[in-house]
Amino acid sequence: MNIDLTGKTALVTGASRGIGEAIARGLAQSGAHVLCAARSAERVNELAAQLGNATGVALDIAAPDARERVAALVKERAVDILVNNAGITEDDLFIRMKPEAWTNVIRTNLDSAFAVTQEVVKKMIRARWGRVINISSVVGLMGNPGQVNYASSKAAIIGFTKALALEIGSRNVTVNAIAPGYIQTAMTDALGDDAREKLAERIALKRLGTVEDVANAVVFLASEQAGYITGTVVNVSGGLYT
């Protein structure tokens, strides 16, 4: 299957590192022009320069002016593929969790998807073509101690995905979520070999996922070939959760 995204523009939030960076690379390699967005302006500009068919965008999706910033962005260049990837954790046991830890996580992982997506899909609807891909987590499906705020945000993004898919499917805009399991990033690299092996034991495929495992699923969902898939959650967890 040859995936060709030439002529499409993609906006990837949280593209400065980790999974988002791999998604930006994957989409650019498939021919899309990628708007690489994150708070670290320097890093996204570097990445965009490396990719060639890309633009770095300094954007804090949790800031009060995020909606206006995105509106200005899409006014300049319509976005065909939106990947809501930026996300944070602020873990704590529930009884100790500070209200700010709850609010920060919900604001970044959920509220921002509302604002960003609303600004972007208006033009997709008019164009009668669009792809919205939301990065959730298996934690939103199975829960995880110490992550009540994060699991809530990731479960909510699945409801968001399903409801929006039903609303805008008739306009040829698909909306899907991806639920990654344990993915090898700077965070998991910091764990010792023992801890990583214990994690891998719980996974059917006996290894942590790579950022490319997630990016491949995103590129497929963004493609023409995935045009009949909407409202789904693609589980990229190596069988950690089935």
Ligand X SMILES: NC(=O)c1ccc[n+]([C@@H]2O[C@H](COP(=O)([O-])OP(=O)(O)OC[C@H]3O[C@@H](n4cnc5c(N)ncnc54)[C@H](OP(=O)(O)O)[C@@H]3O)[C@@H](O)[C@H]2O)c1
> What amino acid positions are annotated as catalytic residues?
150
For 115, the token pair is 């604002």
Residue 200 Rama label (left phi>0; alpha psi -120 to 50; beta): alpha
Contacts of ligand X in 94-113 (CB under 6 A):
108
* φ, ψ for residue 12, nearest 5 deg: -115, 120
240 lines the binding site for ligand X (CB under 6 A): no
Query: What's the min distance (Å) between Cβ of 201 and ligand X?
Result: 16
CA distances from 121 to 114, 115, 128, 171, 220 (A): 11, 10, 10, 10, 19
Segment holding 6, helix H or strand E: none
Contacts of ligand X in 110-149 (CB under 6 A):
135, 137
Q: Tell which one of 11, 36, 82, 86 touches ligand X (CB under 6 A).
A: 86
Query: What's the min distance (Å) between Cβ of 170 and ligand X?
Result: 28
Closest CA to 117 of 150, 171, 160: 160
Residue in this structure with the two tokens 């060639």, named with its chain if needed:
52
196 lines the binding site for ligand X (CB under 6 A): no
Q: Tell which one of 35, 61, 110, 226 touches ligand X (CB under 6 A).
A: 61
Query: What's the min distance (Å) between Cβ of 125 and ligand X?
Result: 24
Q: Tell which one of 46, 60, 90, 111 touches ligand X (CB under 6 A).
A: 60
Query: What's the min distance (Å) between Cβ of 175 and ligand X?
Result: 16
Alpha helices in the chain (DSSP H): 18-29, 41-51, 66-76, 99-106, 112-127, 139-142, 148-168, 186-189, 193-201, 211-222
160 lines the binding site for ligand X (CB under 6 A): no
Contacts of ligand X in 13-32 (CB under 6 A):
13-20
What residues line the site for ligand X (CB under 6 A)? 13-20, 38-40, 59-62, 85-88, 108, 135, 137, 180, 182-183, 185
